[in-house]
Amino acid sequence: MLFLSLFSTVVRSQDMPSYADRAFIITDSSTQKSDDIAVVEGGVDENVYLVGPGDQFKISLDDIETLVFDAKINPDGLLLLPKIGMIKVSGLTLKDAKDRIKAEFARKYKSKNIFVTLSGIRRIKIAIYGEVLKKGSKVILANSRLNDILMDGGFTPVANIRNIKIISKDGGTKFIDLLSFIRLADRNQNPLLEEGDYIMVDKLDKTVSLSGMVKYPGVYEYKEGETYAELLKIAGGYLDAAFLDTIEVIRFADDNKTQNSIRESSGNLMSNGFKLQNKDRIVVRSKPLYLQENIVTIDGFVRYPGPYKITEGVTKLSQIIPEAGGFLEKASMKNSYIIRASGESSYDPEFERIKIIPRKDMTDDEYDYLKSKSRQRRGRIVIDFQKVFRDKTDDLILKKNDQIFVVEKKDYITIIGQAVFPGNLEFHPDFSVRDYINMAGGFAWRAEEGKVRIIKGRTGEWIEEDKVVKLEPGDTIWIPEQPQPPKFWDVFKDTLTILGQLATVIAATVAVIISTR
């Protein structure tokens, strides 16, 4: 029962907020500062800052001679001014406190040049609890704001930063949405802290989801009474592709089991002040076919390679090549090809399984399948450019994102492996495989002469030498290397092992014979 109780308090991962900035806000405890006094903004807004016990002032009077006075507000909230006496300034804004001090000095002195500055900021004591990494009472500078303290201390992963509670010393309560300050620079959501403030960062419990065509989609903390318009503002507003005629809100019914859909235009949701509920899922869909490009690319030996617009289902291969200026002289129509990625799945579970099996443990069928898949040119369209452009047959209707590769003519045969001089050799229509090997200096001394293979340039197919009907430009002749002979030491060890086993068998046989006599 205890286990079930603990498990029920864990926030499920799918309910965790996932909007942009969340990872930045929820800082890791290892990166936090150890300073007792948090970093605060450099200046003080005299229209907002409330002075109190501990604040220090410097008063300067320019008359016949310059007079400078220092004064500090005492615990009773009174400021002792030389030759004037006590005046109460605690609780006033800094601006009002300065005006009162100037007025008091103006009554005593004739100087009109009276300057009052805040020379020292007091420290105050607050308390922070809940889902923060540094809990307890803290002494901070009086011009510290909520964001300064919380970001310096760090949050736990389940902190609810959109419903932070601040309870003042007199019992007043307000809720702060820190994300509104971070996203919208709403300074009302980043207040100055006051003496005795109690800050509670609650644990995440309720969420809403906003997905689709908005700038910052994701799962957000739910705020009581929040409207759709307010959440949309936090999420950065709509993207240009958003379909505003119908926004879908998927909401749980009162039984907390049944989900219903509410479909409204964006205008109605915004103008009616549509209020959100816990676990609402809002979907902003894209405009149909919005800015959908029908583009193919042509690479290689055409006059003007690059992207070209097509009418999908209409434009043919024979029409798009002339738009690119036609073939260059070095283009090989025989070896040119098209790659079509649309609708192509790259995952083959059988291929992935076989790849991790050692060769010695594969069946012959598995090994053949591995070789075939490894040589496969994924997405390649079977089409003969020569038939399309010379015979005017077998034309292909293009689809968007097709890639057309017009390759260079290969007027050579390539020899790799154990030839004396491997490399590219000029193509001769009447030459056989052995003719090309002789042109390359013949077989090298470690060549496996009976296992020569031909790799067809156009298809990648491997063919045994005696089964080749005709070589073509771009084909490759591969001469494998003979396997390395076993090393003497390995042979010696194996021989000793066999002899030892044989001796054991003989000894056992002799022992059996003797025992039976």
Give all strands (DSSP E) within 154-206, no chain letters. 159-167, 173-176, 198-203
- Which value, in Å, is the radius of gyration of the alpha carbons in the chain? 41
Q: Which of 302, 301, 267, 263 is nearest to 281 (CA)?
A: 263
Work out the pLDDT band at 38, boundaries 50, 70, 90: very low
* pLDDT tens per residue across span 372-391: 676 666 678 878 888 898 88
Predicted confidence band of residue 506 (pLDDT cuts 50, 70, 90): confident
pLDDT for position 234:
94
pLDDT in the model for residue 126: 92
**Which tokens go with 261?**
């859909």
Cα–Cα distance for residue pair 145/190, rounded to 1 Å: 6
77-91, 192-206, 460-474: least confidently modelled range = 460-474
pLDDT in tens, 166-181: 999 889 999 999 999 9
pLDDT band at 255 (very low <50, low <70, confident <90, very high): very high
Give yes or no for a contact between 120 and 58, defined as CB atoms under 8 angstroms apart.
no
The residue among 118, 124, 206 whose CA lies nearest residue 162 is: 206
- Is residue 11 scored above 60 in pLDDT? no
Least confident segment among 4-8, 106-110, 310-314, 466-470? 4-8
In this predicted structure, the answer to whether residue 13 has a pLDDT above a threshold of 60 is no
204: nearest Cα among 257, 161, 266, 253: 161
Residue 229: both structure tokens together: 């318009």
273 phi-psi bin (left φ>0, alpha ψ -120 to 50, beta other): left
CB 373 within 8 A of CB 349: no
Distance CA 146, CA 187 (A): 10
**What integer pLDDT is reported at residue 310 of this predicted model?**
93
Inter-residue contact 303 to 324 (CB < 8 Å): yes
Q: 200 in helix, strand or coil?
A: strand
**Residue in 490, 412, 486, 484 with CA at minimum distance from that of residue 448:** 484
Whether residue 328 has pLDDT greater than 80? yes
Per-residue pLDDT tens over the stretch 68-91? 888 899 988 899 888 788 999 988
Helices marked H in 129-234: 146-153, 178-184, 228-234
Other Cβ atoms less than 10 A from the Cβ of 150: the count is 24
pLDDT band at 216 (very low <50, low <70, confident <90, very high): very high
Non-local CB neighbours of 187 within 8 Å, separated by 6+ positions: 181
Q: Answer yes or no: is pLDDT of 8 > 50.
A: no
Residue pointed to by tokens 């007091």:
122
297 vs 20 pLDDT, higher one: 297
**Residue range 432-453: mean pLDDT, rounded:** 84
pTM: 0.65
Q: Is the pLDDT of residue 337 over 70?
A: yes
pLDDT value at 42 more than 70? no
Beta bridge partners of 73: 79
What is the DSSP-derived secondary structure letter of residue 190? S
**pLDDT averaged over the chain?**
84
Tell me what pLDDT residue 125 has. 92
pLDDT above 70: percentage of residues in the chain? 87
Environment class of residue 163 by beta-carbon count within 10 Å: exposed (0-12), middle (13-18) or buried (19+)? Answer: buried
Give 85's strand partners: 81
Q: Residue 461 and residue 151: Cα distance in Å, rounded?
A: 62
